[in-house]
């Protein structure tokens, strides 16, 4: 039986990871995040109520689970406090949150630079969420970031902020022609946030490893997805972190050999927000229908998502990179009313079949998907709870997906609620 399980997105994000995490969190002792920041947006439906989470792990909906924010996360203090207050106001216990003392802090200039550099890119913009994610990781790598351990130390924070802001203000004024940011104002506001967050801060690396040694079950909750990974995704249209299973090792301080199982969440069709190639995109009535039925609009930005057929090639690629053991297929019910469903099982480039996901975006934008057609099941599957009871056409679609991607089926989700889940394989 697995004890340390990682959940990752296998496409371009928004696969419905929140619901799968929530489902598996029930059996875990700890739910932990290892990368990304407030750019993530997980929506979970519970007893008819919707919870939108950005930074706090989805395990927060269970009162007894420890919810860990690992060192690889970039922490926006304002955002997490808002989220904590909102959950508290709805009667949830937030005392089990633990924040890594090594995580980097998102400060106002990160958000500002995120938006300014997008403006500078003009038509070549990445389409970021504007949450300051990449500028915060840039500062980490440039070794001018401010970590949580320094943020909650009043003197350290005041001195580090002064130095960094002097540099940032120079860039703001001389490069972007913008007014400088006010040191005192940021210091006062953020000192207040630091005081509020202090009780939740600890060494999460020690905590997680002690819990592993004690035989506890840990669920690592990925944000974003493989095709948005800074190295493996459609660079430069990617995020700045590593949302693959290896991200757990560097973003939480847990060794690779400790990971027992990796679950890849796969939406039954495909979406992406922001710019970049998307071979199976449907800029037609089919795409519109998927968007309308699936309510495909961004959780964080509200932007309409781009929609298309399932691309099994990228899922296979995600499987290779992360060693995905099981697929959790989500939103299968959104396809209930289609006469015909297509799945991309390969790519052609200049008439030749290619076996890999191209690194070059120029080439990736030129590939032609090789589709297989599936007859729709034209049945409401949202009430089905056993795999064998799914319509034969739905099973055919899932089984072919598993065959092409070479990943076993673990879970099938047929609706947003906790109980609308078919467990094919017990993961924990
Ligand atoms: P950033 O992470 O805000 O820098 O945005 C970089 C790219 O990743 C953009 O295309 C975003 O739309 C995309 N992105 C970031 N977070 C998510 C997410 O949680 N779901 C889907 N796309 C995301």
Q: What is the DSSP string of 61-99?
A: GSTTSEEEE-TTBEE-HHHHHHHHHHHHHTT---TTEEE
**Residue 121: pLDDT above 90?**
yes
Does residue 13 have its Cβ closer than 6 Å to ligand 1? yes
Does residue 53 have its Cβ closer than 6 Å to ligand 1? no
Give pTM, 2 decimals: 0.95
User: What are the C-alpha distances in Å from 138 to residues 102, 111, 145, 237, 383?
Assistant: 16, 12, 8, 16, 47
**Residue 26: pLDDT above 80?**
yes
Closest C-alpha among 289, 102, 113, 292 to residue 202: 102
| Nearest protein CA to atom 10 of ligand 1, as residue | 274
Ligand 1 center to 126 CA (angstroms): 9
Q: Which residue has the tokens 């948005």?
A: 228
Closest C-alpha among 383, 278, 274 to residue 332: 383
Ligand 1 center to 373 CA (angstroms): 30
Ligand 1 nearest-atom number relative to CA 14: 20
Six-digit token pair at 59? 């395990």
**Residue 38: pLDDT above 80?**
yes
Which tens digits make up the pLDDT trace of 142-171?
999 999 999 999 999 999 999 999 999 999
How many DSSP H helices and E strands does the chain contain?
13, 20
Per-residue pLDDT, 32: 97
Per-residue pLDDT, 42: 79
Give the three-state DSSP class for 374. Answer: strand
Ligand 1 nearest-atom number relative to CA 41: 19
Alpha-carbon distance 250 to 256, whole Å? 10
């Amino acid at each position: 039986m697995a004890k340390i399980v990682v959940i990752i997105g296998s496409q371009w994000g928004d696969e419905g990871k929140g619901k799968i995490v929530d489902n598996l969190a029930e059996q875990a002792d700890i739910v932990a995040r290892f990368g990304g920041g407030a750019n993530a947006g997980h929506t979970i439906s519970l007893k008819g109520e919707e919870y939108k989470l950005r930074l706090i792990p989805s395990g927060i909906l269970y009162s007894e689970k420890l919810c860990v924010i690992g060192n690889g996360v970039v922490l926006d203090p304002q955002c997490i406090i808002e989220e904590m207050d909102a959950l508290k106001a709805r009667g949830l216990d937030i005392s089990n949150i633990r924040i890594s003392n090594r995580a980097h802090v998102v400060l106002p200039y990160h958000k500002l630079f995120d938006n300014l550099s997008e403006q500078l890119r003009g038509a070549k913009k990445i389409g970021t969420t504007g949450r300051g994610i990449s500028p915060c990781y840039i500062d980490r790598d440039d070794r001018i970031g401010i970590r949580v351990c320094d943020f909650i130390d009043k003197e350290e924070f005041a001195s580090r902020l002064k130095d960094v802001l002097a540099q940032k203000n120079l860039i703001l004024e001389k490069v972007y022609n913008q007014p400088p940011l006010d040191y005192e104002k940021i210091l006062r506001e953020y000192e207040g946030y630091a005081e509020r967050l202090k009780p939740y801060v600890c060494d999460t690396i020690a905590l997680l490893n002690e819990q592993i040694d004690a035989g506890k079950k840990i669920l690592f909750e990925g944000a974003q997805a493989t095709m948005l990974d800074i190295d493996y995704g459609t660079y430069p249209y990617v995020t700045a972190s590593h949302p693959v299973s290896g991200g757990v090792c560097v973003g939480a301080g847990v060794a690779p050999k400790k990971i027992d199982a990796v679950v890849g969440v796969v939406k039954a069709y495909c979406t992406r927000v922001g710019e970049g190639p998307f071979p199976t995109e449907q800029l037609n009535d089919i795409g519109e229908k998927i968007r309308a039925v699936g309510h495909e609009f961004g959780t964080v930005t509200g932007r309409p998502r781009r929609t298309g057929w399932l691309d099994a090639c990228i899922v296979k690629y995600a499987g290779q990179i992360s060693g995905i053991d099981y697929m959790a297929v989500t939103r299968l019910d959104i396809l209930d009313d289609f006469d015909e469903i297509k799945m991309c099982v390969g790519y052609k480039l200049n008439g030749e079949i290619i076996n890999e996901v191209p690194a070059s975006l120029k080439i990736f934008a030129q590939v032609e998907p090789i589709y297989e057609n599936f007859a729709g099941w034209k049945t409401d599957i949202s009430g089905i709870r056993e795999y064998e009871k799914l319509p034969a056409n739905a099973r055919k679609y899932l089984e072919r997906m598993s065959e092409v991607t070479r990943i076993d089926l673990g879970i099938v989700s047929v609706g947003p609620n906790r109980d609308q889940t078919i467990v094919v394989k017990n993961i924990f």
